[in-house]
Structure 1
Amino acid sequence: MAVSAPHPHPSNQRDQLNQPNTRNAAAPALTVRDAVIDFARRVGMTSIFANPGSTELPMFRDFPADFRYVLGLQEAVVVGMADGYAQASGRAALVNLHSAAGVGNAMGNIFTAFRNRTPLVITAGQQARSILPFDPFLAATQATELPRPYVKWSIEPARAQDVPLAIARAWAIAMQEPRGPVFVSIPVDDWDQPAERVPERVLAHVTRPDPQTLAQIGARLDACERPAFVVGGAVDRAGAVEDVVRLAERHRARVYVAPMTGRCSFPETHRLFAGFLPAMRERIVEILDGHDLVFALGAPAFTYHVEGQGPHVPHGAELCQLIDDPGTAAWTPQGVAAVGNVRLGVLDLLDRPAPRERALPAPRAVPPRALPPAADERMSVAYALQTLGEARSAADIVVEEAPSARPVMQTYLPIERAGGFLTMDSGGLGYGMPAAVGAALAKPGERVIALIGDGSSMYSIQAIWSAVQQRLPITFVILNNTRYAALQDFAPVFGFGPGDPVQGTDLPGLDFVALAAGMGCSGVRVSAAGELSEALQRALAAGGPALVEVLVA
């Protein structure tokens, strides 16, 4: 006969239920927020550039003490700051935007980040999953489509539990060459859901160019008589500037900067430096005439701004290319193209036996000094930039967004070191002022000079407020010529005659000193050439941000 166990007393049942089960106790469950913060910490994305909305707030509850929240007052400013930070630091930056409206506001600088090849992990809020079928307020319809095609990858994870792995994948894609921005849309109710920690893993972000293709380029370099190097931003991104200098010196090559290049990839005071190529096919061929080999390093061959005709390189010249972007190599019109990390490719070329000696090419002509203006005239841009060049330190970082002044800057404000210059590869305005803030955050203790046109500055002038709040050593130099000069200068290409008005290009009545003061930044307006040097020196010595508005012809 079976004997049943005695039925427990109800009070004993309650006691048993209240006792901790030490044998089966599990560690507290991780949430999606915990797992994302843990992964971001491991890969160094501890500065979050953001402008918050309601659907993003849960991401920042219990904000970790070792993270930094960098507030921008408009989403384009947020992305611009993150871009400058990522380029200056060499690491991916984490961006948080509001759903559709915020991403839309940011699109101009997302486009620039894509052209700059800047690694950004951009997150944006989304409405709660449970109400998405009802087209709720602030929901992003087809959220992943909005930033395309100017992100490398875009996703809204199918489940909350997939968010941490989506962030990890986004980071890996952003950092793989060619680098660039990626996008993750995250529903607001995902952050508190349970999730697992992202496993540890090791990923290679660079690839070595094909040895056989490099051997072909090396043989052509050895055999040519008058080589020209054309360098682009990927040289500086890869940390290859010093190696390219060695390669140019070995082959006695003249070195030109590729059109629309956003970084310094060769010291502009070097004996072999030959100048900057314009974004015009015929002019490029004219400038490179006489060279029998053109080697594009870390640059497209070539970026054009207006329609052109004829050959892409001078008659009788071969074209070679070393680039980190297979897409760029695919449309290169002719020649030999090696794809992979630029520094690894250059090191392999340097490992070849030394070539025969060549004569040094003639040095670049020294530009004449810019003269001060007459008493009744405004100073020229050349004089203003020459004065800035004499007042600044060669160690300062220059972030530029003054398109009409860029050719003058390239003459009178030479950049001498890797990492010493940033601008936009895209041509889109609104990048320079926030990028200066990001660069200063990435390089604490280094002076940043934001050289900005009056028209350009108004696209993202809110960045001054972020610079003040972060107490950053940024000198904002505003070149005020009261117009969109680049458009007026470009108008003859499209049929405007001398003196023809160009509608929408005059900018009277802007007071940049007053605008800066309203955001807590000291400033001074300079109209007299004799006062400029002292004003710049004071601003460059300031402990925090300062603005100098320069009235130029």
Structure 2
Amino acid sequence: MYTASTAFLEALAEAGVEYLFSNFGSDHPALIEALAEARAAGIAMPKVVTCPNEMVALTAAQGHAQVSGRAQAVIVHVECGTQSLAGAVHNVSKGRVPVLIFAGASPFTQFGEMKGSRNEFIQWIQDVHDQRGIVRGYMRYDAELRTGRNIKQMTWRSLQFAHSDPKGPVYLMGAREVMEEALDPAAQAGLDVADFAPIAPSALPQEAVHALLTDLAGARRPLVVTSYLGRNPQAVAELQRLVGPLGIAVLESVPNAVNLPHDDPMYQGCQWNEPRQNPLLAEADLVVVIDSDVPWIPTVSKPRGEAKIWHLDVDPLKQDMPLWSIPARRVFRVHAETALAQLNAGLDRISLDVARIGERRAHYARLHEERKVALARAEAKPAGDRLTAEYVTACVRAHVDADTIVLNEGITNYPVVVNHIAPTRAGQMLNSGGGNLGWTGGAAIGAKLAAPGKTVIALTGDGSYMFSQPSTVHWMARQYGTPFLQVVFNNRGWRAPRYSTLAVHPAGHASRAADIGVAFDPPPDYSEIAAAAGGAHARKVRHPDEVESAIAEAMHIVKTEKRAAVLDVWLPHLMEG
């Protein structure tokens, strides 16, 4: 039997999709039958990963794509499963991560007119006016499959959108009757996924290459600000080739990838929500923003008024953001690797003031060393019995090698993790790229599936750990052999809302209150949740003397026993400090 579902699965496999992160329902009999038939016949199809929670399915697909660069598929149940994707939809959209989401739909016949017609009460209740509209605002493309005869073209077209800049999620839906449609396999044989290639990378106009190089050569304090250039490791290499010889500083703003190795002398650190003017921005006379959604927060920190600003971005208009602007006079939609390679290729066609470049390179190298000393001081082992996130993160760093991927969902400890993991290789550290919490757990599973030989370490706040559906995550980690270390920064609640409130009302009633409704105190037993759900190693860590041995033990278990490990690390209470 060759059905639309068979053709759909073939189309995914031919497009390079390895996994179906699936939460099956009453709308998927044809898919389930096609998969079972393929297994019985020994026909290769994408592997099914059963996901008891839809949000974890999408975060796992995201984690895989962030490591592999290839979209995976997520299968959910009608509009209910679509809504249960929850905030993970936001993350894949804002993080520009390619993924294909397929949802079934209630049958459109009710008297047995077609195979797959309604035969369960739920199919009347789950028939809604605009199922695609639930997620349309986050998708690069959405469509309904209305016949199996063009299902391969529709699938490949959606993936063409997903893999074209700016990349992102796509959504397909199909009713049971469509997915059950019998097809002639010979009619599908001549179709070729190569006919649906993603859009080629965009380059800078040659005039702009010369003009930007001239500005970079003539500036006294040139600065590159970036956030997600490092999603493409080749772009990192091109950036490093450019900034070293020219003595250009690099500042990360809300980074969600490794944009420049932290041991490069031109690396000047990262900025997040710090309520102060960044001195590098204040000093720069030329700022080149490359791939950044929030290069600065203008109410507290911005470039000086006379600074010349260039903006190079895969998405310079920020089309999904109603309010957005920076005072850039030269703006280009470009592929960062391509544009940086153009700049590097054009270096020998401009004149360089060796003394000027040497002075600014020495200036930034000195600032780099001063920052390094300050970070070392901050991560020293505490003298008392209270842990610090800086010390814990530095102890984790001791176990990070060339085969380690670090996932950062530290929330108010985001900058701590970036600063004290201090990654030195492109692709070594990631975060969700969005603002919805709960990404780390599923993403760790996806990252491990994409790179089985890598060690995955996830650093997360306790609030985001709870959002991540840990019982589902750790059941899946055991079921599919994806062990990882998860370190929970436990400050007994959500510290971010407290910080936000203090930023607006620094001397208000909330600043003096002992409880503002954001604490989980006493907290759940985070590590034991993972142990119960997936046999994970569980341990609480409350004292500085316990940290190094606890991490070493956990890493041994992850690497040798192939079990996940969760360390519940108790930091000072969120209402302190």
What TM-score does the superposition give when structure 1 sets the normalisation length? 0.88
- The whole-number CA distance in structure 1 between the counterparts of 2:108 and 2:397 is 55
Structure 1 residue aligned with 2:379: 370
Out of 507, 519, 534, which is 1:506 matched to?
A: 519
Give the equivalent residue in structure 1 for 2:299. 308
Equivalent residues of 1:50, 1:71 under 8 A apart: yes
Match of 2:453 in 1: 445
Q: Percent of aligned pairs with the same residue?
A: 22
Mapped pair 1:277 → 2:271: yes
The answer to whether the Cα contact below 8 Å between 2:104 and 2:174 also exists between their aligned partners in 1 is: yes
Alignment partner for residue 289 of structure 2, among 293, 296, 303? 296
8 Å CA contact retained: 1:235, 1:342 = no
**Structure 1 match to 2:473:** 463
Kindly indicate whether residue 53 of structure 2 is the aligned counterpart of residue 49 of structure 1: no
SS class of match (2:100): strand
Alignment of 1:143-542 (within 5 A): 143-195=131-183, 196-197=187-188, 199-200=191-192, 201-202=194-195, 203-211=197-205, 212-237=207-232, 239-258=234-253, 260-279=254-273, 283-284=277-278, 286-300=279-293, 302=295, 304=297, 308=299, 312-328=302-318, 331-354=325-348, 355-357=352-354, 358-359=357-358, 360=361, 361=364, 362-364=366-368, 365=370, 366=373, 367=375, 368-375=377-384, 377-460=385-468, 461=470, 462-497=472-507, 498-501=511-514, 503-508=516-521, 509-519=523-533, 520-542=535-557
Distance 1:404 1:280 in 2: 11
How far apart, in 2, do the equivalents of 1:382 and 1:414 lie?
12
Corresponding residue number in structure 2 for 1:23: none
Per mean C-alpha deviation after superposition, the further-off stretch among 291-300 and 239-248 is: 291-300
| Deviation by residue 1:216-266 (Cα, 9 ceiling, x = unmatched) | 3222222222211112213433631111111111211111112x3211111
- Partner Cα distance (1:525, 1:92) in 2: 36
Aligned residues: 519
Contact 1:446 1:473 in 2 (8 A): no
- Helix, strand or coil: the match of 1:352? helix
Deviations 1:17-71 (A, max 9, x none): xxxxxxxxxxxx8421222122211111121111111112321324245321112
| Cα pair 2:408 2:417 within 8 Å, conserved | no
CA–CA distance in 1 between the matches of 2:198 and 2:30?
A: 33
Q: CA deviation at 1:118?
A: 0.2
Contact 1:392–1:540 (CA under 8 A) maintained in structure 2: no
Q: Is the 8 A contact 1:213 1:338 kept in 2?
A: no
In terms of mean alpha carbon deviation, does 237-246 or 189-198 score higher?
189-198
**CA distance in structure 1 between the aligned counterparts of 2:140 and 2:473, rounded to whole angstroms:** 26
SS of 1:268 mapped into structure 2: coil
Q: Which amino acid aligns with 1:429?
A: L
Q: Deviations over 1:191-231 (max 9, x none)?
A: 22144427213424332323233333222222222211112
1:34 paired with 2:6, answer yes
Residues of 1 paired with 2:103 and 2:10: CA distance? 19
RMSD: 2.4
Q: 1:332 to 1:58 in 2, by over 3 A?
A: farther
2:44 matches 1:99: no
Task: Tell me if the contact between 1:231 and 1:266 (Cα under 8 Å) persists in the aligned partners.
Answer: no
2: CA distance between counterparts of 1:323 and 1:281?
26
Question: How many angstroms does 1:390 deviate by?
Answer: 2.1
- Structure 2 residue aligned with 1:137: 125
- 1:516 maps to a residue whose letter is A
Q: CA–CA distance in 2 between the matches of 1:245 and 1:264?
A: 12
Deviation of the 1:410 alpha carbon: 2.6
- CA 1:129/1:352 → structure 2, altered by over 3 Å: closer, same or farther? same
Residue identity opposite 2:293 in structure 1: P
Q: Structure 1 regions of 5+ residues with no counterpart?
A: 1-28
Post-superposition shift, 1:341? 1.4
1:240–1:342 CA contact under 8 A, matched in 2: yes
CA spacing shift, 1:541–1:206, aligned 2, 3 Å: farther
Aligned equivalents of 1:175 and 1:404: distance in 2? 32
Give, in whole Å, the separation in 2 of the partners of 1:331 and 1:379: 40
Cα distance, 1:280 vs structure 2: 7.1
The alignment partner of 2:367 has SS state of coil
- Determine which structure has the larger helix proportion and give its number: 2
The one-letter code matched in structure 2 to 1:240 is: A
Write the distance in 1 (CA, Å) between the matches of 2:288 and 2:10: 44
Is the contact between residue 235 and residue 343 of structure 1 (CA under 8 Å) also seen in structure 2? no
Deviations 1:363-407, CA, capped at 9 Å, x for gaps: 3222214343455x3211122112212233353111111211122
> How high is the TM-score relative to the length of structure 2?
0.85
Q: What is residue 569 of structure 2 aligned with on the other side?
A: 550
Structure 2 counterpart SS, 1:88: helix
* In 2: Cα distance, 1:403 partner to 1:390 partner: 22
Amino acid at match of 1:295: V
**Would the aligned equivalents of 2:145 and 2:178 in 1 still touch at CA under 8 Å?**
no
Partner in structure 1 of residue 113 of structure 2: none
**Highest Rg: 1 or 2?**
1
1:78-132: CA deviation from partner (whole Å, max 9, x where unpaired): 1000000011000111111111111111130011100110001110010112249
CA contact (8 A) 1:296 1:320 kept: yes
Q: Paired residue for 1:4?
A: none
